[in-house]
Structure 1
Amino acid sequence: MLIVFNQMISLFLLMLTGYLANRFGVIDKTFESKVSRFIVNISLPATILNAVTGSDMAHDQEMLPIFIAAASIFLVAHVVCHFIQKIICWNPTYELMLNYSNLGFMGIPIISTIYGGEYVLHVSIFMMTFNLSLFSYGVYLLSRDDAKNRHFSVKKLLSPGILSAFLAIGIYLLDIHLPQHAVSLFSTVGATTTPLAMIVIGSTLAGVRFSTVFTDRELYLFSFLKLLVLPVITFLVLRFFIRDRTLLEISTILSGCPIAGNVSMLCMEYNRDVTLVSRGICISTLLSMISIPIVAALVAVL
């Protein structure tokens, strides 16, 4: 599982770059805010569109089970979080962190290494489904308690992220082939999402005491639930209606990836606790160096 550790190291180096840049005064809160808006409104939509324009997607019956599996992971996480809420009064940010995993930077290289490059398509469809959910249900979670947004409007869901997800699905279903310049644009701009997101996350960590990251028992409990318990529950649930063994294993591994950096960007957009998310990303990414190989080994033998 050398690829897992290599990806973790790359992730932390990007975060470290942002952390040091903030410490030395190269970037500040204004930079964080501006770049997070760029990511949420421009580079992330480009990533979503690149998922369907940057690869040769086969139009066959195999695609529907992938969409179903991706939606099922979200539903399983939602149900798990619902039961946890009855025991622990977690705020909506925790549900967001539990539901959305780092599929782009972690999921794609891990799945392509374990199962082969042809399965990157599966992860791309998961990314489309998750981003559609993030910019709809995720936005709802972050805005429902805001007095200014108490009267929730469907128009709030029509963000560049969700519009690009609908557009991507349309491109896929209609088998539309865009000009090479457009494909190149989506690929190039979309490629900036991960490094920029990690740099901003690292910058926000500059204002966090690391003692609060590694001594927060609640974050350890959360990481245990997200990285180990959730994948096991996902596997046990999906095995009843997903016959494709490889798809079942991929779904399980993806559900156990660490918190997505885009959660931090969205929380910054809606003035939520970005520090909590950054700490959660930090510790879940570190612990996933151990948990992902464990999950991958478990699904291979169960």
Structure 2
Amino acid sequence: MFVILSKIAIIFAMVGVGFIANKARALPDESNGYLISLLMNITAPCMLLTSITGKQLTPDTLSSTLEVLAGTIIFFLVGMAVSYGIVKVLRISSADQGVYMSILTTVNTGFMGFPITKAAFGNEALYFMVVSNIVLNIYLYSLGILQINMGEKRQFKGLKKALKPMLNMCSLAAVLGIIMLFSGFKIPSFFNELLTGIGDITIPLSMIVVGVQLGSSNILKIIKNPKLIVISLINLILWPALTFLAVNWLPIHEMTKLILVYGAAFPTAVIVVALAAKERKNSQLAAEGVAMTTLFSMATLPFITMLLSTYYGI
């Protein structure tokens, strides 16, 4: 447990570095776009490719992969339905219902999930988090578009146009890595070391970016929204708790259970802000939801990580 706690403490200390760097103007707000581009287009794809291809394909890996795929699909479908009931109970205005539902349902299993999962549970868990994230990407650009527009009538712009953003470097690296894993192809030693070295930058870089994002947010303004606080707590505490109760009794692999529960514990996906802006919804509210859930996750994620590590012995 101490090892896990130490790893998580180091990771979140990197967030503090990014926060301080932003406030000191060493990494001003405008630098974040360049850092994210470096992260999502170069370092993270390298990390995904080398981590996935470094695995050994076994019958357990195949069955666990299918379990994670099925479990993640069910998670988002149920989450979408339950989130609709929650916004109704909270009497959210019709104009903002879709944004609040997206804050509730989507999870940052890529941008934050990949590095934290790798640091806490290793490459084995990272592989399955990548599999889970593939489902998230499909959901975001299909049903997620419909979800963010709930509360008002708006014409869906077509599946092909909605799915186009999925063609990004992280998605391509994940798919390529899985194909190479199942085909048995290995990256030549020189290139594997090169890609591994670049990929190792991902964990500190991603956490520093989170810190810069928090540094550029008006935290005092955000915490004055009581409905957003309730939604954030449901996202970070109730969701993983309900997921644990739903999957823990099932006859599936322990790693599958851990990934499904852990995936539910991450804050709102950053891409929700861009989707809200694109669909002409309340992108400011979406940004505040991402910032608040990310801020609260500084406390909830280390606790949940230790609980899961102790319970599943991974």
Scaled to the shorter chain, the TM-score interval is: 0.7 to 0.9
Partner of 1:60: 58
Distance (Å, rounded) in 1 between the aligned partners of 2:112 and 2:183: 28
Distance (Å, rounded) in 1 between the aligned partners of 2:189 and 2:141: 33
CA contact (8 A) 1:69 1:251 kept: no
Partner of 2:294: 281
1:254 aligns with 2:253: no
1:107 aligns with 2:117: yes
Pairwise CA distance, 1:193: 2.0
Partner of 2:214: 205
Match runs of 1:129-168 below 5 Å: 129-140=131-142, 150-153=157-160, 154-168=163-177
Distance 1:62 1:74, change over 3 A: same
Pairwise CA distance, 1:33: 0.9
Match runs of 1:1-302 below 5 Å: 1-53=1-53, 55=54, 57-78=55-76, 79-88=78-87, 89=97, 90-97=100-107, 102-111=112-121, 120-121=123-124, 123-140=125-142, 150-153=157-160, 154-212=163-221, 217-218=226-227, 220-239=229-248, 242-244=251-253, 246-251=254-259, 253-259=261-267, 263-264=269-270, 266-267=271-272, 272=283, 273-295=286-308
Percent of aligned positions with the same letter in both sequences? 16
- Structure 2 unaligned regions, length at least 5: 88-96, 278-282
Deviates further, 41-50 or 95-104: 95-104
What is the TM-score when the length of structure 1 is the normalising length? 0.78
Question: What is the root-mean-square deviation of aligned Cα atoms in Å?
Answer: 3.4
Matched residue of 1:176: which SS? coil
What is the TM-score when the length of structure 2 is the normalising length? 0.75
Distance (Å, rounded) in 2 between the aligned partners of 1:187 and 1:109: 14
- Structure 1 unaligned regions, length at least 5: 113-119
Deviates further, 60-69 or 91-100: 91-100
Pairwise CA distance, 1:109: 4.0
Distance (Å, rounded) in 2 between the aligned partners of 1:193 and 1:160: 14
Q: Provide Cα deviations, 1:129-180, integer angstroms capped at 9, x if missing partner.
A: 1332344333446766699x93442443322222222211110110001111
Pairwise CA distance, 1:85: 1.8
CA contact (8 A) 1:135 1:161 kept: no
Pairwise CA distance, 1:66: 1.5
